[in-house]
């Protein structure tokens, strides 16, 4: 009798541990922060659709080469632990990872007559803060629809890095375009003094 009880108890403990482990792995997506391969490539953050949705943009152009053929939607996500840290401090902790999805857009389809909605996936831009790995703290990556790993867009202070460094409101993140995060940054006083926002409310 005692033995059966012990076996049952062990089973329960194992079941509880399994649930706990799978909970840790899936909480907020499968990845807690940036994951790198042994040769320093960034692993595609597969679980990001379960992270915190930051905001979206339509047809925002930050590339000189942008054509006006089709306006693209951008959807921005950040890993949940960094989001929580931002709410508390108004800054981004080490190992923050942002994902910017690009989607095509259209206006005519199904019952829709006006306004725009998202269509096909066009690519992922990723931004990582890793103070030990990168001398310049932030690094930038692009993934097409199939790529599982990506090398940084020319390491160091490349175009991505420079534009984000000069123009982003909080560290390298464009919080001026994310209204809920902007409230937090204003409250915590973490907007860079060099960045001038039109709306100073």
**Which residues here bind ligand HEC, judged by CB under 6 A?**
57, 60, 62, 74, 76, 98, 100, 125-127, 140-142, 153, 159-160, 163-164, 168, 172-174, 177
Q: How many residues does the chain have?
A: 201
Whose Cβ is closer to ligand HEC: residue 86's or residue 140's? 140
The 8 Å CB, 24+ separation contacts for 117-126 are: 118/73, 118/75, 121/145, 122/72, 124/44, 124/99, 124/100, 125/99, 125/100, 125/160, 126/42, 126/45, 126/97, 126/98, 126/99, 126/100, 126/150
Whose Cβ is closer to ligand HEC: residue 86's or residue 174's? 174
Whose Cβ is closer to ligand HEC: residue 17's or residue 70's? 70
Shortest distance, position 108 Cβ to ligand HEC, whole Å = 24
Shortest distance, position 73 Cβ to ligand HEC, whole Å = 9
Angle at 161 between CA 158 and CA 166, to 5 degrees: 120
Whose Cβ is closer to ligand HEC: residue 20's or residue 196's? 196
Shortest distance, position 112 Cβ to ligand HEC, whole Å = 23
Shortest distance, position 3 Cβ to ligand HEC, whole Å = 57
Q: What span, in angstroms and rounded, lies between the C-alpha atoms of 45 and 33?
A: 9
Whose Cβ is closer to ligand HEC: residue 22's or residue 61's? 61
Structure tokens at 181: 């995060």
Shortest distance, position 11 Cβ to ligand HEC, whole Å = 45
To which residue do tokens 């993140």 refer?
173
């Amino acid at each position: 009798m005692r033995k059966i009880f012990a076996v049952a108890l062990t089973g329960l403990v194992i079941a509880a541990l399994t649930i706990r482990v799978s909970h840790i792995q899936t909480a907020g997506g499968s990845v807690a922060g940036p994951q790198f391969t042994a040769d320093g490539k960034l692993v595609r953050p597969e679980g990001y659709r379960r992270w915190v949705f930051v905001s979206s943009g339509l047809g925002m152009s930050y590339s000189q080469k942008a054509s006006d053929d089709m306006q693209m939607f951008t959807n921005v996500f950040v890993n949940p632990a960094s989001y929580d840290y931002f709410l508390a401090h108004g800054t981004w902790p080490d190992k923050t990872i942002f994902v910017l999805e690009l989607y095509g857009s259209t206006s005519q389809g199904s019952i829709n007559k006006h306004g725009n909605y998202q269509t096909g996936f066009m690519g992922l831009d990723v931004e990582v803060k890793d103070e030990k790995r990168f001398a310049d703290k932030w690094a930038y990556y692009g993934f097409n629809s199939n790529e599982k790993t990506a090398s940084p867009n020319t390491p160091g202070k490349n175009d991505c890095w420079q534009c984000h460094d000069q123009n982003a409101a909080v560290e390298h993140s464009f919080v001026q375009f994310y209204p809920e995060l902007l409230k937090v940054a204003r409250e915590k006083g973490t907007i860079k003094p060099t960045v001038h926002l039109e709306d100073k409310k």
